[in-house]
Structure 1
Amino acid sequence: MLSAASQVLVRNEEFFATGKWLLVNPTDSHIAATLSDADISVFHQYFDIYQQSKDQGKADKHTFAAAYPTDKKFDGAVIYVPKSKEQLKMLIANVAACLTPNASLLLVGENKGGIKSAVKLLDSICSQTNKIDSARHCALFGGQVDKTIKAFDINKWQTEVALSVAGQDYKVCSLPGVFNHGILDLGTQLLLENLPEVKAGRLLDFGCGAGVIGCYLALKSPKSEIVMSDVSALAIYCSKQSAKLNNLDVQVVPSNGLADVNGKFSAVYTNPPFHTGIQTDYSVTENFISQLNNYLAKAGSLVLVANKFLRYSELLEKRFSSVSLVEQTSKFSLYHCNRIK
């Protein structure tokens, strides 16, 4: 079923009848196939929707990347408004550089996701913006790109963050839209400061974000094979850049949950996500925990930090013979789990 935002686009499908269009971060995998008569390409920053969308057909029209190549030009584009306004600013800058002169740039999103305030971000490239439609608690705004557009360079949006945590000094790269952009998350800090001795072997940082945990593991256990995974192209980009900043040889893979991660691990470390867009979503972590028996070695362990209100202890106890609540603050709980059942 189409998301509410995509249903609003279908109500206005006449926009896509002429010219080449770019859809950016659709919240479902069916919108391009639904608008099958239009000349549409799709820019994805989330691997799950990217994979599902390719399965609908016209795989060559779908691109998974942190930034869309600006050598490709379009007559119009639609950006699904993300939770992060800084990410939206970066997307507007990137997409505007992909448009022909006087092209249309539209924003679509849920009212509770801030679409009404987000449209102000178009003022830098459009002399006038208009509300095009409103339905299903969503709105569609747009304007004609008639101001000077600067060349887009993702490097100008990067922030280099110096960390000193648990006796280790290192740097990470961060971009708007990556978890806790530009700062060290307190949950991740709690995890790193209460780690048991880092196991040698094959280690996984699941939901790696900017690569804070994965780079720490690689620095503490240089003989280990470090794998970092995330669903976000922005996170994949940042983790690769973070590894370069610290001269580390690691593997960074895009993955929908654990589906695209291969092999077994001596230990898995994670500060897992619990949002999909603006929606609270526990399913990613619940699926991750339920599938761990296929990814952990016989004596493998899991170190997981989560917001205190997320009651993962029962799920963990179903999968592990030993589950310890190692540390707890007013906001976070840290679990060490051993001996997969």
Structure 2
Amino acid sequence: MNAYRQWLVASVQVGGCSLSVATKPGVLAHGTTDVAAFMLAEAVARRGVAGAPCRSVHLHSGNGLVAAVAGQAGYAVQAYDRYLPNVEATRRTLEASGGAAPRVAHGVLATADMPSGGADLVTIRIPTDRLGVQMAIAEAYRCLAVGGVCLLAGGNDEGVKPAARWLERVFGGVRLDAQHSGHRLLSAVRRAGEPADPAALASPWMNPDHMRATSVSLGAGEFTQYSRPGVFSWEHLDEATAMLAETARIAPGESVLDLGAGGGALGVVAARATQTGRVLLLDADADAVRCAARTVIGAGVHHVEVRASDAGEAVGDARFDVVVTNPPFHVGKATDLAVPRAFIEDSHAHLVPGGRLYLVANRTLPYERWISDCFGTVRTVHDGRRFKVLGATR
């Protein structure tokens, strides 16, 4: 079995709860201890549930540890994560650990299926982007009933101190419950009446359909790329993607697979180059999938499909003439080179004989050996000051 897709299960004890936590490469904190998640889990275990059934919402659920503890404590669990590997890890962890039947969703916000005031507890394992933290706190306030509690944890190097200030701005009070190994656990209670600062909840990003529109001139013409906070390079077209778009050679009629499509710019360029060939865009990020779909529709290219996928998993048995990719190599703040290696292996698996891979990467990343292992040879298509485009033929 491909090592990237080999699931591992670890037995974990938290606050008297016995859990089986699922993980694999690409899942947050794989191979390490997520201190923030353990702090949240221990706090949830201490709270328990008394009396009537209670509902908990878990934002940025990661491997599902916190949600599983909540399930064992008696909460009806709803868990959300924007990254597909984390969603699958949460689902597996909850199934293995028992508790009330959970809902696990691939998304940033709970807006679609959690009514305002419907939750008694919300936990946030903070993301590393500022706007992502602010959205999560606003979503927690929206979800919580009066008297409900928000628990938030993260590292000092992940922005937990600014998160504390935003939590106070929204809830009107925040308590430091614990700190350990450069991490902090915070709590806040939703009180009756208006939020402490209503303007803090007025962000347009709380509307899932609100997207940033960026005019892009790339390849054969101009189009608009749509994006949201947390999507890779969401505020502008990144230099590496532009370089890949200018150097990849796609002939009319060729089929193209874009692994890690982001906001969809490369997919539009590929669709215009192939004219009639099938183009499939894949990304693990729920918001990236929605943004890429809007980008390709707005660009008027109609032979393009966008799917959520962990690496190339959603391709199925299909084969393509060309694969283009700018593979991610961060999971949270950590570097995880198992992810780009999986992209390279999946590229080889889904190319027709004679099919071509075009991959762009930071010049310092050691992808040549992995490409050579899969394809036999590797060539440098373009060598820039910061980025390189590597090519290979199956």
Q: Same fold (TM over 0.5)?
A: yes
Does the alignment pair 1:37 with 2:70? no
**Structure 1 residue 83 corresponds to structure 2 residue 118:** no
Deviation of the 1:55 alpha carbon:
2.4
Conserved 8 A contact 1:199-1:266: no
Q: 1:199 to 1:139 in 2, by over 3 A?
A: farther
1:15 alignment partner in structure 2: 47
Which of 223, 238, 248 lines up with 1:195 in the alignment?
248
Match of 1:68? Answer: 110
CA contact (8 A) 2:218 2:245 kept: yes
Cα distance change, pair 319–55 in 1 and its aligned pair in 2 (3 A): same
Alignment CA distance shift 1:198-1:88 (3 Å): farther
Letter in 2 for 1:323: V
Q: How far is the alpha carbon of 1:171 from its aligned partner?
A: 0.8
CA apart distance, 1:107: 1.6
Match for residue 210 of structure 1? Answer: 263
Q: Kindly provide the amino acid, as one letter, of the partner of residue 176 in structure 1.
A: P
Answer yes or no: is the 8 Å Cα contact 1:160–1:174 preserved in 2: yes
1:94 is displaced (CA, Å) by 3.1
Using the alignment, how far apart are the partners of 1:114 and 1:192 within structure 2? 34
1:227-264 deviation per Cα after TM superposition (whole angstroms, max 9, x unaligned): 11111111111111212222333211111122222211
TM superposition shift of 1:334: 0.7
Alignment partners' CA distance in 2, 1:200 and 1:140: 55
| Structure 1 segment 321-340 matched on structure 2, within 5 A | 321-338=376-393, 340=394
The answer on whether the counterparts of 2:119 and 2:143 sit within 8 Å (CA) in structure 1 is yes
Give the Å deviation of 1:271: 0.7
1:257 aligned partner: 311
4+ aligned runs moved over 3 Å, structure 1? 148-152
> Which residue does 1:3 correspond to in 2?
34
Give 5+ residue unaligned stretches, structure 1. none
Which residue identity is paired with 1:43? Y
State the alpha-carbon separation in 1 of the partners of residues 209 and 276 from structure 2: 31
Helix, strand or coil at the partner of 1:154 = coil
RMSD of aligned alpha carbons: 2.1
Specify which of 221, 225, 234 is matched with residue 168 of structure 1: 221
Contact map agreement 2:59 2:81 (CA 8 A) in 1: yes
| 2:275 is the alignment partner of 1:243 | no
> Is 2:60–2:124's contact at 8 Å kept on the other side of the alignment?
yes
Q: Give the distance between the partners of 2:82 and 2:140, measured in 1 at CA.
A: 13
Instruction: Say whether the 8 Å CA contact 2:40–2:151 is kept in structure 1.
Output: no
CA distance in 2, matches of 1:32, 1:87: 20
Contact 2:147 2:189 in 1 (8 A): yes
Cα distance, 1:135 vs. partner? 2.5
- Secondary structure at the counterpart of residue 125 of structure 1: helix
Shift of 1:108: 1.1
Does the aligned pair in 1 maintain the 2:85–2:310 contact within 8 Å? yes
> Bigger shift: 109-118 or 208-217?
109-118
Return the offset for 1:69. Answer: 2.2
1:332 offset after TM fit, Å? Answer: 0.5
Gaps of 5+ in 2: 1-9, 11-32
Partner of 1:55: 92
Instruction: Supply the distance in 2 between the matched residues of 1:198 and 1:101 (Cα, whole angstroms).
Output: 59
Q: Larger deviation: 175-184 or 62-71?
A: 62-71
- 1:283 correspondence with 2:338: yes
Q: Is residue 228 of structure 1 aligned with residue 281 of structure 2?
A: yes
3-state SS of 1:180 partner: coil
C-alpha spacing 1:140/1:170, structure 2 compared with 1 (3 Å): same
Cα 1:170–1:43 change in 2 (3 A) is same
8 A Cα contact 2:62 2:81, kept in partner = no
Q: Distance in 1 between matches of 2:216 and 2:291?
A: 15
Report the 3-state secondary structure (helix = DSSP H, G, I; strand = E; otherwise coil) of the residue aligned with 1:34: helix
After TM superposition, the score normalised by the length of structure 1 is 0.92
Would the aligned equivalents of 2:176 and 2:187 in 1 still touch at CA under 8 Å?
A: yes
Tell me the amino acid that sits aligned with residue 107 of structure 1. Answer: L
1:185 offset after TM fit, Å? 0.4
Deviation, 1:322, is: 4.1
Aligned position for 1:101: 146
Letter in 1 for 2:73: D
Q: Displacement of 1:59 after TM fit?
A: 6.7
**CA 1:29 to 1:60, structure 2 compared with 1: closer, same or farther past 3 Å?**
closer
C-alpha deviation, 1:150, in angstroms: 5.3
Q: What is the one-letter code of the residue matched to 2:63? A: D
Alignment equivalent of 1:134, drawn from 171, 179, 186 = 179
Q: Percent identity?
A: 22
1:24 matched to which residue of 2? 59
> Does the CA contact (< 8 Å) of 1:3 and 1:27 recur in 2?
no
1:125 and 1:4, CA in 2 relative to 1: closer, same or farther beyond 3 A?
A: same
8 Å Cα contact 2:57-2:123 kept in structure 1 = yes
